[in-house]
């Protein structure tokens, strides 16, 4: 509720600013208020945008803006795997949470977009970024992807297009929901497999939100809001990962603190991880395994974070897996 209020206030503030004659006379710049309430002077038509997190990269790409620089995806050595096709050519300016300031400066951005999934509670870093270019802090870690996307769209002066994207997602969700029929009576697990252990993607994370949007139910052990990150399951509780269906992804062996542990995040990597998971005692006894209803998915898509592109691609995956088209 507080967040919704914050968005409303921000929208009002932006409206107030644009009504301000100063804003229009400022030579191609305008004001936006970011999620922290900071008034940022941004170009009216940003041309060199740098995104320093997955949600802001996803959001910019969704709105047809190709950043001139971005950071690596969580636990990955390049851009997030699910965006490789769209963003593969964008120069890397550091990794999530460890931006390379000089590389950012060299990219000569006119707008920097970042959020709490990358730079969290670190005013010195934001202050330094603001010396390089106008920086909009678009969302909090674990915040609503719609809210973050709203701030991204506002910063890029494409708020109208942003609203269309969100209503497009809602329309797509209800179409797919309509096709699921008997599948709606079953339960769905989302698992990230790392090394030889599992963690759960609960209902607050993007994949969990997409399943909820689609009206798909979770098994009892996963029918709750988590802490904003995947929740480890010890092997004696392996039954917690079971359901009628299991979406199964991996980010390789890596983590934020150890991004180069190797291993991919794609569907092939998920298949390999699944082959390894079979060796874990009890795994082949799981209902989803015996029923052949484990769906290998892209871990960067299903078990990390992003924006509208990510949400739509998850919905595509669900549709393909459950309706066969």
Partner 1 sequence: MSEFVVRLGPLSVRVRRRAVAVVAVLLAVGAAVGAAAILYGEYTSTPAQALDALRGRGDVLAQVFVREVRLPRALAAVVVGAALGASGAIFQAVSGNPLGSPDIIGFTVGAATGAVTTIVLFGGTPAQVAAGALAGGSATAALVYLLARRDGGVAGPRLVLVGVGVGAVLSAVNSLLLVRSSLAAAQTAAVWLAGSLNAMSWATVTVAGGAGVLLCVLATLLSRPLGLLVMGDELAGGLGIRPQGVRAASIGVGVALVSLATAIAGPIAFVALAAPQLAGRLTRSPGPAVAPSMAMGAALVLCCDQVAQRLFAPVQLPVGVVTGSLGGAYMIWLLTREVRQRRR
Closest CB to partner 1 among residues 142, 263? 142
Q: How far is the CB of 100 from partner 1 (least distance, A)?
A: 5
Asked whether 39 and 33 are in contact (CB, 8 A), the reply is yes
Structural tokens at position 241: 């990962």
Sole residue written with tokens 């963003």: 87
Q: Residue 65 Cβ, how far from partner 1 at the closest point, in Å?
A: 21
Q: Among residues 29, 105, 217, 272, which is the contact residue for partner 1, using CB under 8 A?
A: 105
Residue 181 CB, shortest distance to partner 1, in Å, is: 34
State the minimum distance, in angstroms, from the CB of residue 127 to partner 1: 8
Give the C-alpha separation, 127 to 249, whole Å: 36
**Window of 21-29, 85-93, 167-175, 188-196 that interacts with partner 1 by CB under 8 A:** 85-93
In whole angstroms, the minimum distance from the beta carbon of 232 to partner 1 comes to 6
- CA dist 167 to 99, 147, 162, 171, Å? 33, 14, 9, 6
Which residues in 65-84 contact partner 1 (CB under 8 A)?
A: 72, 77
Q: Between 23 and 126, name the residue whose CB sits nearer to partner 1.
A: 126
Tell me which of 179, 227, 271, 320 binds partner 1, using CB under 8 A.
Answer: 227
For residues 209 and 311, the answer to whether their CB atoms sit within 8 Å is yes
For partner 1, the binding residue among 228, 244, 261, 321 (CB under 8 A) is: 228
Angle (nearest 5°) at CA 49 between 107 and 21: 125
Q: Draw the binding track, 121-140, toward partner 1 (x: CB under 8 A; -: no contact).
A: xxxxx--x--xx-------x
Residue 255 is a binding residue for partner 1 (CB under 8 A):
yes
Residue 87 interacting with partner 1 (CB under 8 A)? no
User: In sequence order, which ranges of the chain are alpha helices (DSSP H)?
Assistant: 2-19, 21-25, 54-62, 84-87, 101-106, 123-132, 145-155, 159-180, 206-213, 267-277, 287-290, 299-302, 308-323
**Using the rule CB under 8 A, is 92 a contact of partner 1?**
yes
Task: Tell me the two tokens of residue 201.
Answer: 């993607």
Window of 6-14, 102-110, 152-160, 316-324 that interacts with partner 1 by CB under 8 A = 102-110
Residues 124, 103: Cα–Cα separation, whole Å = 18
* Minimum distance of partner 1 from residue 138's CB (angstroms): 14
Q: In what order do the strands lie in the sheet with 135-137?
A: 49-51, 111-114, 135-137
- For the segment 260-319, give every residue that binds partner 1 (CB under 8 A): 260
User: Furthest-apart CA pair in the chain: how many Å?
Assistant: 69
The answer to whether 141 contacts partner 1 (rule: CB under 8 A) is yes
Determine, following the binding rule CB under 8 A, whether residue 101 of this chain makes contact with partner 1: yes
Residues 6+ apart with CB under 8 A from 225: 202, 203, 204
Q: Binding residues for partner 1, per CB under 8 A?
A: 72, 77, 91-95, 97-103, 105-106, 116-117, 120-125, 128, 131-132, 140-142, 227-229, 231-232, 255-260
């Amino acid at each position: 509720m507080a967040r919704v209020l914050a968005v409303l206030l921000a929208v009002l503030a932006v409206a107030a600013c644009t009504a301000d004659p100063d804003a229009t006379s400022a030579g191609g710049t305008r004001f936006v208020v970011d999620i922290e309430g900071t008034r940022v002077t941004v170009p009216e038509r940003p041309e060199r945008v740098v995104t320093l997190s997955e949600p802001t990269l996803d959001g910019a790409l969704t709105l047809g803006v190709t950043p001139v620089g971005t950071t690596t995806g969580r636990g990955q050595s390049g851009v997030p795997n699910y965006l490789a096709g769209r963003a593969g050519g964008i120069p890397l300016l550091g990794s999530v949470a460890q931006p390379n300031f000089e590389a950012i400066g060299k990219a000569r951005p006119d707008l920097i977009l970042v959020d709490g999934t990358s730079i969290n509670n670190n005013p010195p870093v934001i202050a330094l970024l603001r010396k390089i270019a106008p920086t909009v802090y678009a969302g909090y870690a674990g915040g609503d992807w719609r809210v973050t996307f709203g701030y991204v769209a506002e910063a890029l002066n494409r708020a109208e297009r942003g609203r269309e994207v969100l209503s497009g997602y809602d329309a797509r969700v209800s179409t797919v929901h309509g096709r699921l029929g008997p599948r709606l009576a079953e339960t769905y697990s989302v698992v990230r497999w790392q090394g030889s252990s599992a963690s759960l993607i609960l209902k607050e994370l993007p994949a969990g939100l997409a399943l909820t949007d689609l009206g798909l139910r979770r098994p009892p052990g996963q029918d709750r809001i988590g802490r904003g990150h995947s929740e480890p399951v010890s092997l004696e509780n392996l039954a917690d990962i079971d359901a009628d269906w299991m979406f199964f992804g991996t980010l390789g062996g890596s983590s934020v603190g150890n991004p180069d542990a190797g291993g991919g995040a794609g569907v092939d990597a998920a298949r390999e991880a699944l082959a390894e998971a079979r060796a874990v005692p009890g795994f082949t006894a799981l209902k989803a395994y015996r029923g052949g209803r484990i769906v290998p998915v892209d871990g960067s898509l299903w078990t990390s974070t992003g924006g509208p592109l990510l949400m739509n691609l998850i919905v595509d995956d669900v549709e393909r897996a459950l309706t066969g088209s």
